Amino acid sequence: MSSDNLSTKNRILQAALDLLETSHGKGVRMSDIAKRAGISRQAVYLHYENRAALLIAATKYLDDLKDSNARLLASRTASTGMQRLDAYIEAWGEYIPEIYGVAKALMAMSDTDEAAYAAWDDRMQAMREGCAAAIEALHRDNMLSPTFSSEHATDILWTQLSVRNWEQLTQQCGWTQAQYIAAQKKLAHTCFVKA
C-alpha cells in the first residue's frame, strides 16, 4: 500500500514493457523482467500472481500511459460517418505499434492461459465496439454501402484492423506505417462507403 510498493509494482511493469517492446514479445522470461526491474525473480511473485497476471497488468498500465481510451473515443466526435471511420482507423492504427510487444506476448499466452485469453478477448471486443460505432455512423448518414449488412461490415472491418494483419502488412510486406494507415482508409471506403 506504501508508495514504495507502488513504485516497485510499476518498475516491474515498466521493465516488462521495455523488454517486450524491444523483443517484439518473444522470449521474455520472468527472470529477465525481474533483473531489469532490479529485484529477484521470486520477488516478482510478491506483486503479481503469475506471468499472465503480470502481462495483463502491463497492458492496462500501457493503456493509461498512452491514454488510449481518450484517443479512441476522440474519433466519436467526428461530424460525418466517413470522418468518424477515418478517425477510428487512424487512432487504432497508430496505437497498434505502441502495444505490439505486449499484444504479441498476450496473444501467445492466450493459447495456454485462460485468463490471458479473456483479457485479450476483452480488449478486442472493445475494439470491435469502435468498429461497430463507425459503421453505425456511416449507416446513420445513409452512406453505408448495401454490399454488406451492418453486422457483416463490422465483422470485416474488425478483422481487417487486427493486430495480426497490421503485423503481416508492415513486417512481412514491408509497408510503412503511413502506407498502412492510408491503405486501410482506402480499403474501408471502397468496401463500406456507398459509391
Partner DNA sequence: CTGTCAATTGACACGATGTCAAGTAAATTG
Partner DNA sequence: CAATTTACTTGACATCGTGTCAATTGACAG
Q: List residues near DNA by CB under 7 A.
A: 1-2, 4-5, 8, 27, 29-31, 38-40, 42-43, 45-47, 49-52
SS3 11: helix
Partner interacting with residue 148 (select from a copy of itself, DNA, none; CB below 5-8 Å by kind): a copy of itself
- The 96-135 contact track toward a copy of itself, x by CB under 8 A, reads ------------x--xx-----------------------
Contacts by 39-48, CB closer than 8 A, 24 or more apart: 39/8, 39/11, 39/12, 43/8, 44/12, 47/8, 47/9, 47/12, 48/12
Nearer to a copy of itself, 24 or 66 (CB): 24
| Torsion over CA: 129, 100, 189, 154 (sign) | negative
State how far the Cα of 187 lies from the Cα of 63, in Å rounded to an integer: 27
Is the CB of 47 or the CB of 84 nearer to DNA? 47
Task: State how far the alpha carbon of 107 is from the alpha carbons of 98, 157, 174, in Å.
Answer: 15, 20, 22
Binding of a copy of itself by 164 (CB under 8 A): yes
Residue 160, interface with a copy of itself (CB under 8 A)? Answer: yes
Looking at beta carbons only, is 94 or 155 nearer to a copy of itself?
Answer: 155
Compute the distance between CA of residue 57 and CA of residue 159 in angstroms, rounded to an integer. 25
Residues that bind a copy of itself (CB under 8 A): 26-27, 108, 111-112, 145, 147-148, 152, 155-156, 158-160, 162, 164-165, 168-169, 173, 175, 183, 186-187, 190-191, 195
